């Protein structure tokens, strides 16, 4: 039966607004999420707008849209984490313990993943980051996902070994084809990013046979087998020497940290030739703060 239902998802005490659009014809079920990290907004706006445009009368299958999983972080205007327990839904699966983050992860595992034939998770660079569009491909699902990479308009794809995030757990542990997309950055919600995400989701729906997606020109995607994520070794001031979507060579300086008196604490260099995916733009860093990400083939 073709229908649209707006409803609340999530574990008890943590309502997550969403929408289920069931097509007139049988087909696959696509679960699409955004803002599991608060402060990453373009995916949220894209899913809200897309939900108003989809016509169940011409759809094959079902689409479940969750535009804002981290509702408490969104309302409290935090950067990434679940504020109740400072949990990270891209690191804390399968949801052990009694905290809010664990409860959300268990809800996905028990209630949503069993319904899904494909999981698409929309991210952005965080508020203190600049990012070029990229996507992360769970390593156990590479063959199943290659035809999907060809329809989204994102220039870089990186093999992901993450087994503790939403897409990574669904794919690498449960065997559900899943993909994590990154577009936008800096706490911004630009119209171009929203439109591009809407087109990407429609393209994935087309590849799954849920809708007849229009043919569009997309960029060629470069595939990388490894990524490096240098972290700050101390608290200090961070001065990057890189920009997103630029090349680095092994040994190139990525940036350095200083103390409050201007003394250099540590200089960070590239471990291999690669492409800068994103880097931290905020001046202050704590020990363990991610400074950048760059992808390479070896």
Architecture in CATH of 225-296:
Beta Barrel (2.40)
Give Dmax over CA atoms of the chain in angstroms. Answer: 67
75-128 per-position pLDDT tens digit: 999 989 999 999 999 999 999 999 999 999 999 999 999 999 999 999 999 999
CATH topology classification for 3-222: Aminopeptidase (3.40.630)
Please give the Cα distance from 294 to 160 (Å, whole number).
13
* Every domain of the chain and the residues it spans: 3-222, 225-296
198-231 per-position pLDDT tens digit: 999 999 999 999 999 888 999 999 999 999 999 9
Residue 7: exposed, middle, or buried by beta-carbon count in 10 A (0-12, 13-18, 19+)? exposed
Say whether pLDDT at 129 is over 90: yes
Residues 6+ apart with CB under 8 A from 76: 38, 83
244-271 per-position pLDDT tens digit: 999 999 999 999 999 999 999 999 999 9
Please give the Cα distance from 134 to 158 (Å, whole number).
8
Q: What is the DSSP string of the chain?
A: --EEEEEEESSTT--EEEEEEE-SEEEEEEEEEE-SSTT--HHHHHHHHHHHH--GGG-EEEEEEES-S-HHHHHHT-SSSBTTTTB-TTT-TT--SSSHHHHHHHHIIIIIGGG-SEEEEEE---TTEEE--EEEEEGGGHHHHHHHHTTS--SEEEEE---SSHHHIIIIIT---EEEEE---TT---HHHHHHHHHHHHHHHHHTTSS-PPP---PPPEEESEEE--B-SSSEEEEE---TT-EE-TT-EEEEEE-TTS-EEEEEE-SSSEEEEEEE--SEE-TT-B-EEEEE--
Q: How high does pLDDT run on average in the chain?
A: 97
46-77 per-position pLDDT tens digit: 999 999 999 999 999 999 999 999 999 999 99
The pTM assigned to this predicted structure is 0.97
Are the C-beta atoms of 9 and 65 separated by less than 8 Å? no
């Amino acid at each position: 039966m073709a229908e649209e239902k707006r409803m609340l998802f999530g574990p008890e005490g943590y309502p997550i607004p969403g929408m289920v659009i069931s097509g007139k014809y049988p087909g696959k079920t696509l679960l699409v999420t955004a803002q599991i990290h608060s402060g990453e907004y373009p995916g949220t706006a894209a899913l809200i707008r897309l939900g108003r445009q989809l016509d169940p009368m011409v759809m094959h299958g079902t689409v479940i849209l969750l535009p804002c999983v981290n509702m408490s972080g969104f309302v409290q205007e935090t950067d990434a984490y679940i504020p109740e327990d400072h949990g990270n839904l891209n690191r804390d699966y399968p949801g052990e313990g009694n905290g809010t983050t664990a409860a959300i992860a268990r809800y996905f595992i028990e209630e949503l993943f069993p319904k899904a034939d494909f999981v698409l998770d929309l991210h952005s660079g965080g508020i203190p980051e600049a990012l070029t569009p990229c996507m992360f491909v769970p390593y156990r699902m590479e063959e199943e996902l290659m035809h999907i990479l060809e329809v989204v308009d994102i220039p870089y794809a990186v093999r992901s070994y993450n087994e503790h995030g939403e897409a990574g757990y669904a794919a690498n542990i449960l065997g559900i084809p899943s993909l994590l997309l990154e577009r936008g950055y800096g706490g911004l919600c630009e119209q171009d990013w929203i439109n591009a995400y809407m087109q990407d989701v429609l393209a994935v729906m087309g590849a799954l046979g849920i809708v007849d997606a229009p043919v569009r020109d997309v960029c060629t995607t470069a595939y990388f087998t490894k990524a490096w994520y240098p972290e700050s070794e101390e608290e200090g001031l961070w001065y990057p020497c890189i920009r997103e979507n630029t090349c680095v060579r092994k040994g190139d300086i990525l940036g350095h940290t200083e103390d409050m008196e201007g003394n250099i604490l540590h200089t960070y260099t590239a471990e291999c030739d690669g492409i800068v995916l994103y880097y931290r733009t905020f001046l202050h860093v704590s020990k363990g703060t991610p400074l950048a990400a760059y992808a390479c083939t070896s």
